[in-house]
Amino acid sequence: MAVELGEVVEAVHGRVLAAPSIPAALEPAALADLVRDEAPLLAPAAVGAVVARVRDRATGLGPLEPLLADPAVTEVMVNGPGPVWVERHGRLAPGGVEVDGPTVDRLVARVLAPVGARADRASPLADARLPDGSRVHVVVPPLAVDGACITIRRFGARAVPLDAFAGPEVVALLARAVEERRQVVVSGGAGAGKTTLLNALAGLVPPGERIVTVEDAAELRLPGDHVVRLEARPAGVEGTGAVTIRDLVRAALRMRPDRIVVGEVRGPEALDMLQAMTTGHDGSLSTCHANGPADALRRLETMVLMGADLPLRAVREQVASAVDLVVQVARGVDGHRRVVEVAEVSADPDAPVRVAALADGRHTRSAPSRPPRRAVAHTRGGAT
């Protein structure tokens, strides 16, 4: 029956494409009539299944639509023709869907066309974003040896609260840090939950503050009344028109932000972010890939040096002045994402130990020794 349904789907899809008005042909009632015309003996449930598959194929991502509709799925991985894999609750498993080569090619075209991108032998790597904010990365032959690969990292429609990452003591510490406008960098590995935690932290910003977010793919969903979202843009098919994270950070500085939230720093934009943090935009937040708080500082320094010919000493002083706390998040063997350490950055760049642990994932050890940025900002404003 599955093969017969597949044949009906192919036939009905072809008739839809040949119809004088495709939108009219995709209406559920019209589709159901086409299905019954092709297969008069199909049961009502089977007719409904064919209608759904044709609509998914014509307007969505076809066989991936049921996976993307599953709220438990956080990642969808197409590894060329064959089984589609998913991540559910932090664990990888087969998704129960298989795709063939032509279907994979259609999926690649479908996800890239809306953003004006392409993936071919000349440009075999591409990034895109689905309408719901999910990030898409595409690799095609010759780089993908076994066929085009599509990785869709979904960003949940439901915000994850801060207490899902840590115990009450640590939640209180982080909430107080946001209230006191401390500068926070969230670090962790790929898929550790950095952006989700950043979203939870930024959601604690008091209403009324003007927040400008800068991201590669717009994933942050902040509840504030005054949020401006900026999204980087890759180069078009002609190789022009790219707008980088660094461009957007510079633009954000001219938009009168109270706080700047950078989804992730990966390169020279780290310098612009640090400068924003030290020029009156207290309480800014960002993320970076790192194995721990000390590694996060070294990564920031390296990224600054990638785009500026500055002495390491000057860069180190800038980092020590700009960043108050580093929050390390990790994914456990059970698939859950948790805060594993909160560390304070020493204000002295020459300190033997540049970070001091304030908390693990459950309990706090000590309070921050650096003064809150809220008091510093108030003093500065009064002096001015």
**What are 202-225's pLDDT values in tens digits?**
889 888 889 999 988 777 888 778
Count of the separate structural domains present in the chain: 3
Identify the domain containing residue 351 by its residue range: 162-383
pLDDT tens digits for 316-343? 999 999 999 999 999 888 778 899 999 9
**pLDDT at residue number 236:** 67
Give the CATH number of the domain where residue 81 resides: 3.30.450.370
Query: Do 265 and 373 lie in a common domain?
Result: yes
Q: Please indicate, yes or no, whether residues 221 and 281 belong to a single structural domain of this protein.
A: yes
Describe the strand order of the beta sheet including 135-139 as a list of residue ranges.
Answer: 91-99, 82-88, 73-79, 149-153, 135-139, 125-129
- In the listed set 59, 80, 98, which residue is the last one of a domain according to the structure? 59
What letter would DSSP give residue 217?
Answer: S
Percent over 90 (pLDDT), the chain = 35
Q: Are residues 42 and 113 in the same domain?
A: no
Which pLDDT belongs to residue 34? 81
Angle in degrees, 0-180, between the axes of helices 245-253 and 269-277, rounded to the nearest 10:
20
User: At which of 97, 131, 153 does a domain end?
Assistant: 153
**pLDDT over threshold 80, residue 56:** no
Closest C-alpha to 61, from 22, 11, 113:
113
Q: Is the pLDDT of residue 1 over 50?
A: no
Do 363 and 237 lie in one domain? The reply is yes
Q: What is the pLDDT of residue 298?
A: 93
Report pLDDT for 335: 77
Helices (H), the chain: 2-18, 22-25, 28-38, 44-59, 65-68, 101-112, 168-179, 194-202, 245-253, 269-277, 293-307, 312-322, 373-383
114 and 205 in a single domain? The answer is no
User: Are 86 and 196 within one domain?
Assistant: no
Do 318 and 169 lie in one domain? The reply is: yes
More reliable by pLDDT, 354 or 131: 354
Same-domain pairing of 279 and 292: yes
CATH code, 353: 3.40.50.300
Neighbours of 110 (CB within 10 A): 18
Last residue of a domain, one of 59, 74, 98: 59
109/198 same-domain check: no
CA–CA separation, 247 and 194 (whole Å): 22
Same-domain status, 197 and 124: no
Same domain assignment for residues 54 and 94: no
- The pTM assigned to this predicted structure is 0.75
Q: Is the pLDDT of residue 302 over 90?
A: yes
The residue behind tokens 């066309």 is 113
Same domain, 226 and 306: yes
